[in-house]
Chains A and B, each alone.
Chain A
Amino acid sequence: MSHSVLTFIAKVKPDKVAELEQLLAEIADSLLEQTHLPFPKLTLLHFASLFLSKDETYGVTLVFENNFDGPLDAYLKELYCHAADGLHRIYSCCVDYPASSTADREQMLGYLRAHVVRPNAYHIGNPGRTAARIAQEAQLRDLLECTADTLTCSGHPKLPAQDLRQQLQAAVKRQPEFSWAANTRPRLSWAERVIPVITFWGTIVLAGLIILFFWQVTIPLILLYLVVLRWKERHDPVWIGAAQHDHVGQLTQREDRTHTFQNHMASFAIVKPGLFRLLTLRAVLWFVNLKARTAIHGELSGIPSIHFAHWSLIDGGRRLLFVSNFDGSWENYLDDFIDKASPGLTAIWSNTVDFPRTRFLIKGGARDGSRFKADARAYQVYTNVWYSAYRDLTVQSIDANSALREDLYQPLAPAGVQTWLQRL
């Protein structure tokens, strides 16, 4: 099962900004009950968000982020079926919106299709699992945990491991609504696991061979590139400025509200002027995307907490839109960036204005932790509306739930039984 990760991006009519913000606030205030965008009814949806960028050069931009199961058409159908009214009201505030009423189905969907932006790079924390499957597997865990509670007494399990497992299996079998657990495929097929890895390494080997084969041309080009890069790295200005208390205060109003502290972050960074940085950024994003396809255990460069993240070059490549749906606090997320994924993200954001000083594209940069965080906050925007279909689950718990289910009826060696029981 593959996911779609995309945004609809539209410009807002200047005289409609206030009205749109009011509407988005209404939606956010009663997120699960409101009928404008009844997110819980969208069975294909994982995460969605709406937010604005107000920029002197690029005007007011509305981004509607969607991460969902399957292809766009099926999702649009669902969206139109449940949220036509809300969409119509929202996009009536936007430039060039042609539909005069929600009855104009083709006009509305055509408008959305025309405004789709597919990211240059994206990451999916739990590939292969639909929103419905994630919910089912969470219910299965609840059943297993409750059953396990009955199998211990005063801190001691009553039975040996193999018997405990049989009791747990029997408890699931007794419940007809869990019959799906017996005949469901693993989260990813063999091909889905292996092909991205082959593609990734194949590309690296191919690139290496090309560089070696045409070394008379490629080596001087690379050296020239590095000279220009180093000069720019020494001279590009970095973020200097007092902390923007009001702006950050506004951002934090939206944070840490879900039970397990899932959070959302959206930012619009400005790509440094000139072709050099833009081409570098495009190349880096292409590479990150290739690498991200091989991340199948919920980790992106050692960061274990990202559900969906995307990077999109917008406004003719002059701005970099980043959206992320992650577990834990913002501070923790940024720390993970700094401690675990510094080279990758430095390679991306060092091509945008104000980023901390770097060396050779991937060194330094985010390691200047306080400046990196101040810079990230400065370009982050307020998320007006944000919805998560499973706000109590982390990337890692979703993965653990899948592992519990996949091995539920598998024949396991004694050590495997131990490992399986430890997942509870």
Chain B
Amino acid sequence: MTELERHDIQGIVISSYIHLSCAAYVLLRVTDAPKARRWLAEISGEITTAQGKQEQTSTNIAFTHPGLAKLGLDEHALKTFSRPFIEGMATEYRARILGDRGESAPPFWGWGNSNCDRAQEHNPNPPVDILLLLFARDEATLAAEIERRRASFVASGGVEEILLLEAGRQPDTKEHFGFNDGIGQPVIAGSGKKERQQQRTHHATELPAGEFLMGYTNDYDVIAEGPFVEPGRDPGNLLPVIPPNTQSLYDPGGNHDLGRNGTYLVFRQLAQHVADFWQFLDAATRGPDNASDSEACVRLGAKFVGRWPSGASLVQYPERDPHAADGQLTNENNFGYTQTDASGFACPIGSHVRRANPRDSIGPDAETARRSANRHRIMRRGRSYGTRQPDHFVDDGVERGLHFICLNSDIERQFEFVQLTWINNPAFGGLYNEVDPVIGNLDRTDGMMTVQCEPLRTRVHNLRRFITVRGGAYFFLPGINALRYLAALTT
């Protein structure tokens, strides 16, 4: 197994910084390339790497394709990035495959739609060039960190703040609908995290580093391809030379490796309509006398999500939440579908977690299915934003949701595949005309969810979108050497 070059890898790749409970994401625009590069050079030494833990704060940085162009990366190198990253998230094609329709369509976004053709008619956002990810152990430290970073880029005169997206401290690991989240997570081979994941969730899926880092071998046993620059464009030899005869797809041997130790970061701001979600469940589970049935209501919510509020899987606890009374959370994750729940009687086939990772259930046999599903995993790094809604059923008018962030070395094969082939696929797992009940594109169906049951299924009708996409973009999260290279560009 190849050793990870930890000093060159940004920390967020291997850590979700759970010890740093506050975060803020700063969207920046380049206004003056030379000054912006000087600022990059200044902070490149302060970027948190995968080597050693920082107790107070962590800082990571990522770039959009237009951002790299503005910083002066040459045209040839710009073309060596992957197609989704070059085209961006807000195109008509991507809106179609990601399910961004209706209110979630890019023209209505609050940020990130600058390259969307139809944006001009509605709400053109300023182009996002740089994403600065700041993490801190508490509110005060975060506030100080934001001010310090602000002072530095304001002083540089090269970058301008577009928007600050904050993700404050949450009381626990539940997302806003009230379900324990972030349990299942793949482990990067060589990251040393396998044992911890095994202890935390009683299960660990270890995947080759190339699934999440460019320049390493991926699950197809070839080097995950990344961007590169021609040797003449890197006179200072800041980047490693790609050895000839790699198994890489387009044999860029001899060129300089811009992608090494970097990856792609997907960012989507998903607003959650908590009261809509719970009021819908309540209405759908009322008894014949029209009285609310809180147990049935939570049960149906769990059927939508695929886990109980505590995080316990429906596969393992089909009848009730083992922690309904004590309110404890569980990260138990050691289960499959084929052996215990092939028909979806416990965890519905169309439930959110089963769609987001079907594990061993989609394929001719469990092993082939699992291997195939593992080619489409993502590393989730998102955080909730906004305060908890005091009463799930009462809308308090406060904006809240999830800053969904995930990392993958191949956006098309990983993040976009999950959205298109699993989440928004009306025929997923042999289903008929329905999409993910929690995050699916409910604008394009009559909004249905089938709950498998013996002897006959029930169908819940008239679902509507419980989340709205507010913005999003694809970023390149470079290795530290690549960051220094960008800072040293001269054109």
Contact = CB atoms under 8 A, between A and B. Distances in A.
A101 B105 CA distance: 48
Contact of B455 (A161, A367, A392): A161
B275 interface: no
Interface stretch (A17-25, A82-90, A144-152, A379-387): A144-152
A328 B426 CA distance: 9
B343 interface: yes
Interface residues of B, number: 55
B200 interface: no
B96 to A, nearest CB: 6
Contact of B456 (A151, A154, A331, A396): A151
A185 interface: no
A252 B93 contact: yes
B249 A328 contact: no
A253 interface: yes
A184 B433 CA distance: 26
A248 B430 contact: no
Nearest to A162: B455
Nearest to B416: A331
Nearest to B456: A157
Contact of B368 (A256, A339, A367, A369): A339
Interface in A391-421: 392, 394, 396-397, 400, 417-418, 421
Interface stretch (B79-87, B145-153, B317-325, B378-386): B79-87
B70 interface: no
B299 to A, nearest CB: 8
A399 to B, nearest CB: 10
Interface string A356-380: 0000000000011111001000000
B80 A242 contact: yes
Interface string B348-373: 00000000000000011000100110
A369 B96 contact: no
B468 interface: no
B444 interface: yes
B251 interface: yes
Contacts of A400: 430
A355 B454 CA distance: 49
Contacts of B425: 260-261, 328-329
B249 A370 contact: yes
A14 interface: no
Given A339-B363, A422-B343, A371 B222 contact: yes
Contacts of B455: 157, 160-161, 164, 417-418, 421-422
Nearest to B457: A424
B83 A248 contact: yes
B459 interface: yes
A77 interface: no
Nearest to A417: B455
Contact of B426 (A151, A252, A260, A332): A260
A366 to B, nearest CB: 10
Nearest to B413: A331
A155 interface: yes
For B299, B456, B457, which residue has the most chain A Cβ atoms within 10 angstroms? B456
A259 B343 contact: no
B427 A260 contact: yes
B161 interface: no
A302 interface: yes
A176 interface: no
| Residue from the set B222, B286, B416 with the largest chain A CB neighbour count within 10 Å | B222
B222 A155 contact: no
Interface in A228-262: 239-243, 245, 248-249, 252-253, 255-257, 259-261
B417 A249 contact: no
B371 A339 contact: yes
A335 interface: yes
B451 interface: yes
Interface string A319-347: 00000000111011001000110000000
Contact of B427 (A249, A396, A424): A396
Interface in A296-334: 302, 327-329, 331-332
Given A242-B79, A340-B368, A370-B220, A329 B456 contact: no
A371 B249 contact: yes
B19 interface: no
Contacts of B364: 302, 340
Specify which of B80, B368, B420 lies most central, judged by the most chain A CB atoms within 10 Å of its CB. Answer: B420
Contacts of A157: 453, 455-456, 458
Interface string B447-466: 00001111111110100000
Given A157-B458, A256-B420, A331-B421, 6 more contacts: A242-B79, A257-B96, A340-B368, A370-B218, A374-B250, A392-B433
12 contacts: A149-B461, A155-B451, A245-B79, A245-B83, A249-B83, A249-B87, A260-B427, A331-B420, A397-B427, A397-B432, A418-B455, A424-B457
6 cross-chain pairs, A with B, having the tightest CB-CB distances, nearest first: A369-B220, A161-B455, A157-B456, A152-B458, A394-B427, A332-B421
Interface of A: 141, 145, 148-149, 151-157, 160-161, 164, 239-243, 245, 248-249, 252-253, 255-257, 259-261, 302, 327-329, 331-332, 335, 339-340, 367-371, 374, 392, 394, 396-397, 400, 417-418, 421-422, 424
